[in-house]
Amino acid sequence: MEASITKEGAVLLGEEVSVDAHSHRPYRVITHAHLDHILGFSESLRKCKKVIATPQTKEILKVLKENISEVEGIEELSYEETIQLDGCSLTLYPANHIIGACQVLIIERSGKRLLYTGDFRLEGTPVVEADLLVIEATYGNPSNRRPFKGRVKEELLCLVEIELEKNPVYIFGYHGKLQEVANLLTEGGIDVPMILPSSVYKVAGVCRKYGMKLGSIFLANSPEGKRRIREGNYIRLQHSSSSHRVKERVTKIYLTGWEFKAPCKKIAPGEYVVSFSDHGDFDELLEYVRMAQPSLVITDNFRVGDAKVLAREIKKHLGIDAIPMP
Ligand SMILES: [Zn+2]
């Protein structure tokens, strides 16, 4: 088969390219900077002929990785530019997920098109026609639908506005989502200082450089950041991993893609879950496959999700052959 997924999570496209984990291929592509997509990154930099990513992803990795000189070894490839490898061509297409995220298209000498979507939301992601499609399966279960998704941003804005009347507001999420929320609050006219810890602040800097509108953001441990915190009216954007450490009297909002009942739910006094995802839901995955018109689909069964169920549903609803891997 021309594409497969190894048990280490590498998406192999054709003979030469490995995506999102290391494998014994001359070329390695990184679709985006999330941890489950940069697997074996150092090994690829040592062993592959080229390690390729978008300029945005390279910059994000520079601010998140300690070993910056290693990251310098990544070769940049912008969206929709094509490079020739030894026996095929490689093009990266945008994916609406985290800044810099891309889809990977390989066209073999025979003209056969092999595409890996990486992680994506359908809105803002161009559908690329392919003969063989490898697709993410995070929300691959038919129960993973968000029929209310058009209302989520508005409800989040409302909630933040109401809660700011009482307390500072803490918002917990992952890189990408947090910066997107900072942009949403800015464009929604919420003119309150946003306090960011170092890594979130640095990633926000890259987002701003590439055109994202971000209002008054402050580094948490800078003199200015500390002053804003003392003044008491602020929003703090934190990585999800730090939520258990917050003991102050604040409102806590958790961003999660795993809430399918309502856009916003109160889970305890002063604690809310907002159904904010950077992955498409079940309907979006199916719609992508329908529009890409492949003759075979491989669903990613390495990363978190429901690849087996998604493969079954693709066969059932679209009549297209689909298999989960590994
Ligand atoms: Zn991701």
**316's tokens:** 């059932």
Give the per-residue pLDDT at 240.
85
Closest CA relative to residue 114, chosen from 131, 101, 139: 131
Say how many Å lie between the CA of residue 186 and the centre of ligand 1: 24
Say how many Å lie between the CA of residue 252 and the centre of ligand 1: 23
Say how many Å lie between the CA of residue 124 and the centre of ligand 1: 15
Give the per-residue pLDDT at 241.
80
Cα–Cα distance between 116 and 130 in angstroms, integer?
9
Cα–Cα distance between 30 and 22 in angstroms, integer?
10
Say how many Å lie between the CA of residue 134 and the centre of ligand 1: 15
Closest CA relative to residue 194, chosen from 203, 183, 209: 183
The per-residue pLDDT string of the chain (326 residues; one tens digit each, 9 = 90 and over) reads: 899 999 999 999 999 999 999 999 999 999 999 999 999 999 999 999 999 999 999 999 999 887 788 899 999 999 999 999 999 999 999 999 999 999 999 999 999 999 999 999 999 999 999 999 999 999 999 999 999 999 999 999 999 999 999 999 999 999 899 999 999 999 999 999 999 999 999 999 999 999 999 999 999 999 999 999 999 899 999 998 876 677 778 999 999 999 999 999 999 999 999 999 999 999 999 999 999 999 999 999 999 989 999 999 999 999 999 999 99
List the shell of residues around ion ligand 1, using CB closer than 5 Å. 34, 119
- Name the DSSP letter for residue 174: -
Cα–Cα distance between 177 and 277 in angstroms, integer?
8
Say how many Å lie between the CA of residue 106 and the centre of ligand 1: 21
Cα–Cα distance between 299 and 161 in angstroms, integer?
40
Say how many Å lie between the CA of residue 231 and the centre of ligand 1: 35
Burial of 296 (0-12, 13-18, 19+ CB in 10 A): middle
Q: Which helix (H) or strand (E) holds 323?
A: strand 321-325
Give the per-residue pLDDT at 50.
97
Say how many Å lie between the CA of residue 33 and the centre of ligand 1: 7
Contact 190, 160 (CB under 8 A): yes
Q: Helix, strand, coil % (nearest 5) of the chain?
A: 30, 25, 40
Say how many Å lie between the CA of residue 233 and the centre of ligand 1: 32
